[in-house]
Amino acid sequence: MSAQEPDVESNPDPEETPVEATAESMEPAPELTPPRRKMGLGQKLIVGVLLTVVLAPPTAGFYSYFSGVPLHLLASAKGKEEGREAAETPTSASVALVSGRVHTVAVPDEVCGSLGIHTGDHDAIGVALPPSHMRPLVLPGSTALDPNRLARVRARFAPARVVKLAQVEDPIRASGRTEFRELRQGDHVTKGDLLGVFYSPDVASRKNDLLDALVQLDLDQKILDEADKHAEAVPQVFLLTETRAVQGDRNAINRALTNLRLWDIPQDEIDALHAEAKKICADKNAWIKTPEGRWASRAKQPAAGANGAAQEQENPWGRVTLRAPFDGVVVERNVTVGDLVVDNTVNLFQIADVSRLLVVASCPEDELPILESLTHNQKRWAIRTVGQNSASGLSGAIEEIGYVIDPNQHTAVVKGYVENPGRHIRGGQYVTATVEIPPPVGVVEIPADALVDDGLQSLVFVQPDPEAHVFSMRRVHVVQRFEHTVFVQATPIPPEERLTARESEQSLLPKEALLPGERVLLAGAVELKAVVMDLESRPGPKPAPDRPLKSRHRAAFDLESPRAVPSTRKG
C-alpha cells in the first residue's frame, strides 16, 4: 500500500474523509444523529399479526356487548362476502325473522344444537300449567302452656302455715323398694289429688262461726217447737222472738257457708262441721272432753308431739287442704313444709293440662296479607319439633294474628293451638309451623329457566308449533317467584296495565297473558332475545303481519315492537 492511498481500515466511509487537511477541517465537527432504520417486509408482517391478535378480541367483545349479539353466534355464522363484519350477515343467516309475525324468529337446527335448545332426541321446552301447589309458609316459633288450661293454686286465706305436702311414690330401681317423696315439678296429678295441708286461724274462725250457727239453730229450733206445742200458755211475743232467732241462725249459717266456699274449702270438711254440730247437740258434755274443755276445767293435758301435729290436733277446724282442680302436670311449686304464707296472691302451685299446647309463631310482615287472605278452614298449620314422630307434623289451628308489628324484627305474633298426644312436647320448645298456602287463581306455572328478566321487563319465548323451531318473544306479568318456578298471569291484563307511558318511552313490549298449555323455551332464551332485538333494530323493511292476527287475548297493534314503530306514527 502506498503512502498516497487512503487508509481504508481507519476510515470506513471514504465519502466522509477529507482530501486535504485544512485549518477548518481541524476544528471539531458537530455531532451527527444516526439515520432511522426502515422496517423490512417480514417485520411489518409480524407487527400486523401481533396487532390483530391483541386488538381483535376486545373489539369483538365491545361490539357484542353494545349490539347484543352473542359471540358464539358471531363465530358460528358464515357470511357470503369475506370483507363483511362477523356481526352482520352471519347472524341473519343463522337466525331470521319470520315474515308476518313480529318478535318471532326461526332458528335452524344447527343453532338449536349450539344453544342447547335441541339436545339428543328432545327439545328444551316446558309447558305452562295451572299450579297444583304453592310454596308453604314456614314460621319459626315456640310452644307455651295453654293459659286456659293452667290453674294457679293460691291460698285465699292469710296468714297460713304449711303443715304437710303431698307424698308420691318414688320407686328405687336398684333395690326394688318403693319410697315416698314430696310432690315436685313434673309430677302428674289427677283431679282431687292432695297438694298440701295448711293451718289458718282465719279458716278456723270461719269454721267455728258455721259450727256455732249450726248449734245455735238446733237449740233455737227446739225452743220454738216446744213453744208451738204450748202456744196457749206462751205469750205471743215470745213466739215471735223465737221465730226471729231461728231466722237469724239460718242467715248466719248461709253467711258462714258462703265464706268457706269462697275460700275453696272442700265440701267434705264442711260436712264434717255438720257432723260435729250434731254430736255437740246430742251430748251436752261433749265439749268437756275436748282439749279446750279440759283446759277450762283445769284437767291434765296430754303430752303434745310435734308442733304441727299438736297444733292440728288442738285446732281441727284450722286444717285446710289444697287439691288439684283437674288432671295435669305440676309446673311450679313455691312452698315447703313449715313456710308461713302471708300473701294470698302468691302461686303456691301451678297445674297445667299439657294435652293441648299454645303455639306462638313469628310471621314476617310481608307475608301477613297472604296469611290473612286465608279462609277459616285454611288457617291451619302443621307443627314439627323434636319429640313427635309424625312426618307430617301435628295438625293445629291458627286462632289469632297479632295486629302490632315488632319494630326490631318486623314480624307479627301468630297464635294457635296444637294437640299433644302422649305429652311428649314441652312448653317453651322450638317448633316450625308450616302453613299450606293455596295457589292463586288465574296464573300458570313455568320453570324459572324460561324467564328472561333484564330488570325492566320479563320475557319468554313461546313455541306456537311443536314441530317447528319458531319462537315468538312475549312479555309476561310475573305474579310470584320461587326457587325453581315462576307464577305468570294467565288472565287478560287490563289495557292501562299492559303498557304505561313510561314503559313506552323505554321501548318496552306490552304485557300479555300466558295461557295454560302454551310451550315455552327453557334454553337459549337470553341469546335469542339479543338476536331479535338486534335484527329488529337494523334499518330496512320490518316484518309486518299479512293479515290481522286472530288472537283472543292480543290485538294486532299490541304485537308490534316499539323499536319497529316509525317516528312518523307519533300523534
The cell for 182 is 314430696
Our measurement of the distance from residue 360's CA atom to the centroid of its chain's CA atoms, rounded to an integer in Å, reads 11
Cell match 328405687: residue?
A: 172
Instruction: Out of 116-120, 312-316, 483-487, give the one with best mean pLDDT.
Output: 483-487
Our measurement of the distance from residue 106's CA atom to the centroid of its chain's CA atoms, rounded to an integer in Å, reads 46
Widest CA span in the chain? 200
Do 499 and 508 touch, CB atoms closer than 8 A?
yes
One-letter amino acid identity for 319? Answer: R
Q: Which one is predicted more confidently, 422 or 390?
A: 422
Query: For residue 352, what pLDDT band results from cuts at 50, 70 and 90?
Result: very high
Mean pLDDT of 93-112: 85
Mean pLDDT of 231-237: 86
Tell me which of 79-83, 185-189, 383-387 is least confident. 79-83
In this predicted structure, the answer to whether residue 283 has a pLDDT above a threshold of 80 is no
How much is the mean pLDDT over the chain? 79
- Residues linked to residue 340 through DSSP beta bridges, in sequence order: 161
Residue 203: its pLDDT value, please? 87
Percentage of residues in the chain having pLDDT higher than 70: 76
CATH number for the region 137-145+354-435 comes to 2.40.30.170
Mean pLDDT of 92-103: 78
Residue 72: its pLDDT value, please? 52
Residue 424: its pLDDT value, please? 85
The cell for 109 is 337446527
Do 215 and 252 touch, CB atoms closer than 8 A?
no
Do 267 and 323 touch, CB atoms closer than 8 A?
no
The CATH architecture assigned to 95-130+442-569 reads Beta Barrel (2.40)
> 455-466: per-residue pLDDT in tens?
889 999 999 998
Picking from 363, 474, 366, the residue whose alpha carbon sits closest to that of residue 413 is 363
Mean pLDDT of 552-568: 35
The CA distance from 354 to 331, in Å, is: 10
Tell me which of 46-55, 263-272, 424-433 is least confident. 46-55
3-state SS track over 229-277: HCHHHCCHHHHHHHHHHHHHHHHHHHHHHHHHHHCCCCHHHHHHHHHHH
The cell for 324 is 288439684
The cell for 479 is 305474579
> 489-515: per-residue pLDDT in tens?
999 999 888 988 998 888 899 999 999
Mean pLDDT of 256-270: 85
The cell for 312 is 292440728
Rounded to the nearest 10 degrees, what angle do helices 201-229 and 236-262 cross at? 150
In this predicted structure, the answer to whether residue 56 has a pLDDT above a threshold of 90 is no
In this predicted structure, the answer to whether residue 211 has a pLDDT above a threshold of 80 is yes
What lies within 8 Å, CB to CB, of 231 at 6+ separation is 239
Picking from 79, 143, 23, 157, the residue whose alpha carbon sits closest to that of residue 430 is 143
Tell me which of 188-192, 357-361, 513-517, 554-558 is least confident. 554-558
Residue 301: its pLDDT value, please? 63
Cell match 292440728: residue?
A: 312
CATH number for the region 149-191+324-352 comes to 2.40.50
CA distances from 103 to 46, 98, 301, 447, 510 (A): 46, 8, 114, 22, 12
Query: For residue 540, what pLDDT band results from cuts at 50, 70 and 90?
Result: low
Residue 517: its pLDDT value, please? 93
Mean pLDDT of 234-240: 89
Residue 260: its pLDDT value, please? 87
In this predicted structure, the answer to whether residue 450 has a pLDDT above a threshold of 80 is yes
Cell match 474523509: residue?
A: 17
Tell me which of 256-265, 271-280, 309-318, 347-356 is least confident. 309-318
Residue 178: its pLDDT value, please? 74
In this predicted structure, the answer to whether residue 2 has a pLDDT above a threshold of 90 is no
Mean pLDDT of 426-453: 91
Residue 174: its pLDDT value, please? 62
The cell for 321 is 287442704
Mean pLDDT of 41-55: 71
Q: Which one is predicted more confidently, 546 or 378?
A: 378
Cell match 310471621: residue?
A: 363
Mean pLDDT of 296-304: 66
The cell for 553 is 287475548
Do 196 and 166 touch, CB atoms closer than 8 A?
yes
Tell me which of 6-20, 323-337, 396-410, 480-494 is least confident. 6-20
Q: Which one is predicted more confidently, 540 or 223?
A: 223
Mean pLDDT of 106-127: 87
The CA distance from 111 to 502, in Å, is: 36
Query: For residue 410, what pLDDT band results from cuts at 50, 70 and 90?
Result: very high
Do 104 and 470 touch, CB atoms closer than 8 A?
yes
| Helix, strand, coil fractions of the chain, as percent rounded to 5 | 35, 25, 40
In this predicted structure, the answer to whether residue 290 has a pLDDT above a threshold of 80 is no
The CA distance from 347 to 151, in Å, is: 9
In this predicted structure, the answer to whether residue 546 has a pLDDT above a threshold of 60 is no
Domain range list for the chain: 51-91, 95-130+442-569, 137-145+354-435, 149-191+324-352, 201-321
The CA distance from 511 to 494, in Å, is: 10
Q: Quote the pTM value.
A: 0.55
Residue 34: its pLDDT value, please? 55
In this predicted structure, the answer to whether residue 93 has a pLDDT above a threshold of 50 is no
Per DSSP, the three-state class of 449 is helix
Tell me which of 147-156, 272-281, 450-459 is least confident. 272-281
In this predicted structure, the answer to whether residue 27 has a pLDDT above a threshold of 50 is no
Phi-psi region of 370 (alpha: psi -120 to 50; beta: other; left: phi over 0): alpha
In this predicted structure, the answer to whether residue 17 has a pLDDT above a threshold of 80 is no
